[in-house]
Amino acid sequence: MELVLGTHNLAGAGGTETYVLTVAEHLERLGHGVTLFAFERGQMAETARSRGLRVVGEDELPASCDAVLVQDGASSYLLADRYPSTPQVFRASSPVFDAQLPPQLAETCQCVVVLNDRLERLARSLAVVSDVVRLRQPVDIDRFVPLGPISDVPRRVLLLGNYLEGERRRVLVEACESLELETVQLGRHAGGTQDPLDAIGSADVVVGKGRAIVEAMACARAAFVYDSYGYEGWVTPESYGRLEARGFDGVGADREFGVDALRRDLSGYRAEMGLANRDLVVAHHNARAHAEELVSVFRSLVSDLERPPAPFAEMSRLTRALWQAEHRAHVFARRSETLQGQIRELENGRRYRTGSALALPLEAWRALVARGRR
């Protein structure tokens, strides 16, 4: 089959971007032709090209294809308009941004793929419901491999992800320091990378959520589910089913939070966790098996689909605008939280280095926060 995989962004590295690269590579390994389409292309697009994948913009899309896999509304609408007789599968990746939910315009996509129970419930609750297929988060078990055993007594903890910051990060780092654990952070707030393999391999423990956890497990590392949105602790054969159902995100877990609670949890580290995690990934998260299941989904869809006329191109433009607005609002909200924390510290009489941005008058900080809320 000739396949087009669409996504909004192939610039920075995140779970959505690494998913589409992983799937594209394994679909090609099964002999299918793959074209990667993205509105925004950057370093991640170059990584894809370096692995032999074809990455294009709108003007370079092929004239026809057999099936489409998308991850956001803007790509979904544009490709539905471009290929009106081609079945489309939507991979729902996040409940956070509306632009990443399946389109609510009938006949846009024929099937929704989800990777955890939370997203399955969301997909089935939408007003316009397509067929929903539940798969698992895929990882390339030939790329993410054990790079030596982890230590009997942990030494290094890798904080892997794009969202851990502020008070959540401070409490975790303090708990690690109390156990004499070195912490290293990799992600949007501490220097990103297109390939975290070396950093994962040099750690005993990886702290994160979602794909970061599955990649750590594939490398036979102890994996600790923890992020700015919540935490659930260690992945073990006993906790795996519950954590996988939640997408390894920690959201909604009823856990005591604080330095003492985290220190107790982190003290539960065992070197045997590493190989146990590797076995779980090989059994349940092999990207080759995931690609095979996607091919079955593509082939099960009607091949002579005819969509009724609809303003798909304009819907794509509006959804791209929504995505940009949602992203800016998310960034401003996080900045506002940081600024409010700094204001509280100033009001508590803390002193900062002369010449630092934190030496601004309190009134200026308040003005910045007020501007960010607009």
Tens digits of residue pLDDT in 12-46: 778 889 999 999 999 999 999 999 999 999 989 99
Handedness of CA 73, 75, 78, 79 (dihedral sign): negative
Quick one: what percent of the chain has pLDDT higher than 70? 81
Q: Please state, in angstroms and as integers, the Cα–Cα distance from residue 364 to each residue in 343, 348, 358, 361, 371, following that order.
A: 10, 17, 10, 5, 11
Cα–Cα dist 204/75, whole Å = 39
Q: In the numeric block, which tokens belong to residue 374?
A: 């607009």
Position 358 scores a pLDDT of 46
Over residues 197-225, the mean pLDDT reads 95
Q: Report the chain's mean pLDDT, rounded to a whole number.
A: 87
Which is it for strands 222-227 and 230-234: parallel, antiparallel or unpaired? antiparallel
56 three-state secondary structure: strand
Handedness of CA 293, 295, 300, 305 (dihedral sign): positive
pTM above 0.85, yes or no: no
Position 352 scores a pLDDT of 45
Position 173 scores a pLDDT of 94
Position 336 scores a pLDDT of 73
Q: In the numeric block, which tokens belong to residue 223?
A: 């994996």
Which range has the worst mean pLDDT, 7-16, 17-26, 222-231?
7-16
Q: Is the pLDDT of residue 189 over 80?
A: no
Position 196 scores a pLDDT of 87
Over residues 295-307, the mean pLDDT reads 81
Indicate the pLDDT class of residue 106, thresholds 50, 70 and 90.
confident
Q: Is the pLDDT of residue 249 over 90?
A: no
Quick one: what percent of the chain has pLDDT higher than 90? 64
Cα end-to-end span (Å), the chain:
48
Contact criterion met (CB below 8 Å) for 290 and 138: yes
Cα–Cα dist 118/150, whole Å = 32
Count of CB atoms situated within 10 Å of the CB of 304: 7
